[in-house]
Amino acid sequence: MKIKKAQHKNTNRIAGMILISFMCISGLNIHAQDARQQRSPQIVSPEISPDNSVTFRLYSPDASSVFLSGSWMATGKTGELTKNSEGVWSIKTGPLPPSLYNYNFILDGVTVTDPSNPLTTRDVRRLSNTLIIQGAGSDFIEVNNVPHGSVTKVWYDSPSLHLNRRMSVYTPPGYEDSKEEYPVLYLLHGGGGDEDAWTTLGRANYILDNLIAQGKTKPMIVVMTNGNADQTAAMTDSKTEPVNNAMSMASEKFPESLVKDVIPYIEKHYRVKANSANRAIAGLSMGCLHTQITAMNNPELFQYIGLFSLGLHFNDDLAIVTNKWLIPAYDNNLERLRANYKLFYIACGIDDFVYDGVKVLRTKLDGRNFKYIYNESTGGHTWANWRDYLSDFTQKLFR
Amino acid sequence: MKIKKAQHKNTNRIAGMILISFMCISGLNIHAQDARQQRSPQIVSPEISPDNSVTFRLYSPDASSVFLSGSWMATGKTGELTKNSEGVWSIKTGPLPPSLYNYNFILDGVTVTDPSNPLTTRDVRRLSNTLIIQGAGSDFIEVNNVPHGSVTKVWYDSPSLHLNRRMSVYTPPGYEDSKEEYPVLYLLHGGGGDEDAWTTLGRANYILDNLIAQGKTKPMIVVMTNGNADQTAAMTDSKTEPVNNAMSMASEKFPESLVKDVIPYIEKHYRVKANSANRAIAGLSMGCLHTQITAMNNPELFQYIGLFSLGLHFNDDLAIVTNKWLIPAYDNNLERLRANYKLFYIACGIDDFVYDGVKVLRTKLDGRNFKYIYNESTGGHTWANWRDYLSDFTQKLFR
């Protein structure tokens, strides 16, 4: 008995030592940092209470101010954390509805992520933490115990853009084991985004997994391109950042390359139903402009078109750029689209700054007696809305 | 002329407006943060000078201290930033040799990332910024203008672990367009890591791209698994963190599932040469323990074996766990391995805390007159070394 006990004790000690040994895998100087970090107490952040209120904590005896900025807060609002005698700053929210949220701390004026929460996403150049409040409003974006599709980062030649560049391709669960051909959704990101945005911020792959598992959405391939015509890949995987000027963002170059380079690549390399009845296109914001340019210049290419958070000109200045290509395309090709399409879907939040432009587009379509589905949501120009729109839109595809 | 000028002016104004419009794609409350951020001056960080010295900057009039911790610094060292009259903290390093580095700021005792640098990687639970000094020592890990392989996140059934779980699979450039069958390297991560570690921290896909483009490494498939037997996927894509205790990390469960579940999946779903002459396995630290367990329990499975930064027991405590499986496997199966293998490769840094354990293994192999290649590098238990080892090892495979 004595020996057994000693062994047991030893095993615990071993556990600790292996843990320390194996965990020293960083090139970083952890010991040095620990010294500077003034030996922090155990911090849990964020901590979700049973009523879905959330406590955020940060340890810093030296900070003079810490604020919280969260995607659930109204524009212009932040929350101020208060410091206890141990140097731990904290703030507790009211109950939050189930959803995915992003947040940052603002530590002595510097926007930082919560060091206790390793889950972050990058939006354009900015990192923020993610926080999921579980429940009916977040189920559809969670990694649930359902079959999962694959996501591949594929490099393809784009002769139109004179670049070899990267895209993300979702293939549905079962693709690898089947001989079936699938329909395809081309899904475009917004300004400052890239081929990672729809999976990291949009969680498109998990939204599709969940809907397919429930039988609400047909299994499909989702192609998530990089809409920055001068960039080979996301800034994490290239030496370039997006060229975020109007002429570049609103140009026809990417839509052209989508038609000439991307679609042929996908239809050659994946088992797809290569016809307009099995092709959909959708995009958000800048990607919605690209969607409109692509679909209206090629009215026989897609039977399913989704416009998320953009319409026509939403102010007189922008009109000068977009009208150049877009208004003539609508004027000239709407009848050809009418003869071919199955679904024209428009979604916008009532607080979105592009709301008026969406109204202009709807008025134009109404004037031509062109049928579309309109999903007017609450909220603004946000990923929370775009995740919802994607879920709603994909359930209507290829029926 | 006057009209032209006015148009030009207008275009610039439009550019600005579209930029603002399209860039408001975050769910976060940017305006609120800007207010709290006290309108920062233009900050460039990190700024690399022509002589490869680097200036790091952070704007925070209110901070009481800012330190820099970088992977190029000696253990126990940090650098203290100094504040100028505008509230900008800065520090300039000496010239750094070309390589990939990680760094953090320590702002009022809190380890944070540099808000001016959107490039980060996660190591276990910790985010840090990446910085590449270009040149002869970093060429091999950069995203160069060469053909790129694809990286797929694949979910597979693991009946041995009773889990559906995720791995990363690299297919070499040209895989999609060829009918060729390829050899396969199974590449295992260290403690606290996951199926993302070898691509994000290890840059394995870009290392392979570059070596294949130079004709130094044969095109191969690289399978990067998740070695945490209780975890379905990386913490970013599951609801679980790795169980980092000794019995879990050093157990035979993952090595068993690699043989029973992973290899059959890969050999069924990819165009591979399914024989031991075309199978390699390598791993770092915990993954090196898994590599040894897998290879020594199945001495006819792999002709190429790579051990990065681990040998046998490197202290008497750890020996109790690893010896249980590993020593008998070496003792019983070394002759079977001798009859089959082409390459047994060991790499370790002279400053690595596992160095003595590697010596124990080498002594054991020498005593049995078992041939191996030994790469003794400078440095310690670091990703800089593991990237080098991968580059060196893959050049010797399938010859």
- The CATH number of residue B281's host domain is 3.40.50.1820
B238 plus B130 within the same structural domain:
no
Q: Does residue A122 belong to the interface with chain B, where contact is any CB pair within 8 Å?
A: yes
Selected residues 323-382 of chain B with any CB under 8 Å from a CB in chain A: 353-354, 381-382
Tell me the sheet residues that pair with A100: A132
* DSSP string for residues in A213-275: HTTSS---EEEE----TT-SS-GGGSS-----SHHHHT-SHHHHHIIIIIHHHHHHHS-B--S
Contact A278, A398 (CB under 8 A): yes
pLDDT per position as a tens digit, A104-120: 999 999 999 999 999 99
Selected residues 51-70 of chain A with any CB under 8 Å from a CB in chain B: 58-65, 67, 69-70
The answer to whether the CB atoms of B24 and A244 lie below 8 A apart is no
A96 plus A167 within the same structural domain:
no
Tell me the sheet residues that pair with A121: A128
A128 plus A160 within the same structural domain:
no
Position A335, amino acid: E
> Which of B7, B11, B21 is the mutation pick for testing A, counting most A CBs within 10 A?
B21
Q: Is residue A25 part of a domain?
A: no
Q: Lowest-pLDDT range, A20-24, A143-147, A362-366, B295-299?
A: A20-24
Q: Is residue B6 part of a domain?
A: no
Q: What is the distance between the alpha carbons of residues B389 and B374, in angstroms, rounded to a whole number?
A: 11
Contact B318, A18 (CB under 8 A): yes
Q: Is residue A2 part of a domain?
A: no
Tell me the sheet residues that pair with A130: A102
Tell me the sheet residues that pair with A164: A157
Flag whether pLDDT at A13 surpasses 60: no
**Hunting for tokens 């609450």 — which residue is that?**
A378
Q: Is residue B250 part of a domain?
A: yes
Q: What is the distance between the alpha carbons of residues B177 and B179, in angstroms, rounded to a whole number?
A: 7
Question: CA-CA distances (angstroms) from residue B246 to A12, A15, A21, B234, B294?
Answer: 8, 4, 10, 19, 18
The answer to whether the CB atoms of B23 and A317 lie below 8 A apart is no
Q: What is the distance between the alpha carbons of residues B185 and B295, in angstroms, rounded to a whole number?
A: 13
pLDDT tens-digit profile, chain B (399 residues): 233 333 333 333 333 344 444 544 333 333 333 444 445 678 999 999 999 999 999 999 999 999 999 999 987 799 999 999 999 999 999 999 999 999 999 999 999 999 999 999 999 889 999 999 999 989 999 999 999 999 999 999 999 999 999 999 999 999 999 999 999 999 999 999 999 999 999 999 999 999 999 999 999 999 999 999 999 999 999 987 777 777 778 788 999 999 999 999 999 999 999 999 999 999 999 999 999 999 999 999 999 999 999 998 766 555 566 777 788 889 999 999 999 999 999 999 999 999 999 999 999 999 999 999 999 999 999 999 999 999 999 999 999
Q: What is the distance between the alpha carbons of residues A209 and A213, in angstroms, rounded to a whole number?
A: 6
A128 plus A144 within the same structural domain:
no
| pLDDT score of B325 | 78
Of B10, B108, B314, the CB nearest to A108: B108
| pLDDT score of B30 | 39
B89 plus B229 within the same structural domain:
no
Domain stop point among A87, A122, A137: A137
User: Is the C-alpha dihedral spanning A182, A186, A189, A193 positive or negative?
Assistant: positive
A151 plus A107 within the same structural domain:
no
Shortest CA gap B18–chain A (Å):
6
DSSP code of A176? G
Query: For residue A89, which of B236, B109, B363, B251 has the smallest C-alpha distance?
Result: B109
Q: Which residues of A touch B104 (CB under 8 A)?
A: 28, 33
- Structural domain including B373 reads 140-394
A110 plus A235 within the same structural domain:
no
User: Is the C-alpha dihedral spanning B382, B384, B386, B392 positive or negative?
Assistant: negative
The answer to whether the CB atoms of B153 and A155 lie below 8 A apart is no
Domain stop point among B134, B154, B180: B134
User: How far is CA A50 from its chain centroid?
Assistant: 28
Domain stop point among B74, B108, B134: B134
**For residue B111, how many other CB atoms are within 10 A of its CB?**
22
B237 plus B309 within the same structural domain:
yes
B331 plus B283 within the same structural domain:
yes
A227 plus A90 within the same structural domain:
no
Q: Is residue B29 part of a domain?
A: no
| pLDDT score of B368 | 96
Q: What integer best gives the mean pLDDT of chain A? A: 89
DSSP code of B74? P
pLDDT per position as a tens digit, A226-268: 999 999 999 999 987 777 777 778 788 999 999 999 999 999 9
The answer to whether the CB atoms of A110 and B106 lie below 8 A apart is no
pLDDT per position as a tens digit, A306-341: 999 999 876 655 556 677 778 889 999 999 999 999
User: Is the C-alpha dihedral spanning A264, A266, A270, A271 positive or negative?
Assistant: negative
Contact A73, A91 (CB under 8 A): no
Q: Which residues of B touch A166 (CB under 8 A)?
A: 148
Helix (H) or strand (E) holding A197: helix A197-200
| pLDDT score of A63 | 95
Flag whether pLDDT at A31 surpasses 50: no
A171 plus A129 within the same structural domain:
no
Contact A162, A260 (CB under 8 A): no
The answer to whether the CB atoms of A36 and B239 lie below 8 A apart is no
Shortest CA gap B398–chain A (Å):
25
| List of residues 6+ apart from B60 with CB closer than 8 A | A108, A109, A110, B66, B87, B89, B107
Paired sense of beta strands B343-349 and B99-107, if any: unpaired
pTM of the complete model? 0.91
Q: Does residue B138 belong to the interface with chain A, where contact is any CB pair within 8 Å?
A: no
| pLDDT score of A118 | 94
Q: What is the distance between the alpha carbons of residues B168 and B200, in angstroms, rounded to a whole number?
A: 11
3-class secondary structure, B319: helix
The answer to whether the CB atoms of B127 and A113 lie below 8 A apart is yes
Nearest CA in chain B to A76: B32
The answer to whether the CB atoms of B26 and A383 lie below 8 A apart is yes
| pLDDT score of B77 | 93
Q: Lowest-pLDDT range, A246-255, A356-365, A375-384, B369-378?
A: A246-255
What does residue A174 show for φ and ψ, rounded to 5 degrees?
A: 90, -10
DSSP code of A149? -
Contact A123, A130 (CB under 8 A): no
* DSSP string for residues in A341-371: -SEEEEEEETT-TTHHHHHHHHHHHHHTT--
- Measured CA angle at B128 (ends B208, B118), to 5 deg: 85
User: Is the C-alpha dihedral spanning A101, A106, A111, A117 positive or negative?
Assistant: negative
Q: Is residue B254 part of a domain?
A: yes
Q: Tell me how many domains chain A contains.
A: 2
User: Is the C-alpha dihedral spanning B70, B72, B75, B80 positive or negative?
Assistant: negative
User: How far is CA B306 from its chain centroid?
Assistant: 16
Q: Is residue A66 part of a domain?
A: yes
Contact B58, B88 (CB under 8 A): yes
Q: What is the distance between the alpha carbons of residues B366 and B137, in angstroms, rounded to a whole number?
A: 33
The answer to whether the CB atoms of B245 and A321 lie below 8 A apart is no
3-class secondary structure, A341: coil
Q: What is the ipTM of this complex?
A: 0.91
Selected residues 271-330 of chain B with any CB under 8 Å from a CB in chain A: 284-286, 314-315, 317-318, 320-321
Q: Is residue B15 part of a domain?
A: no
What's the CATH code of the domain at B53? 2.60.40.10
Of B71, B109, B122, the CB nearest to A118: B122
| pLDDT score of B14 | 37
Q: What is the distance between the alpha carbons of residues A275 and A397, in angstroms, rounded to a whole number?
A: 14
Contact B223, B266 (CB under 8 A): yes
Q: Which residues of B touch A120 (CB under 8 A)?
A: 120, 122, 127
> Which of B91, B108, B175 is the mutation pick for testing A, counting most A CBs within 10 A?
B108
| pLDDT score of A217 | 98
Number of H helices, E strands in chain A: 11, 18
HSE-up (13 A, CA, CB side) for residue B40: 20
B237 plus B211 within the same structural domain:
yes
Query: For residue B381, which of B346, B355, B357 has the smallest C-alpha distance?
Result: B355
The answer to whether the CB atoms of B75 and A31 lie below 8 A apart is yes
**For residue A331, how many other CB atoms are within 10 A of its CB?**
12
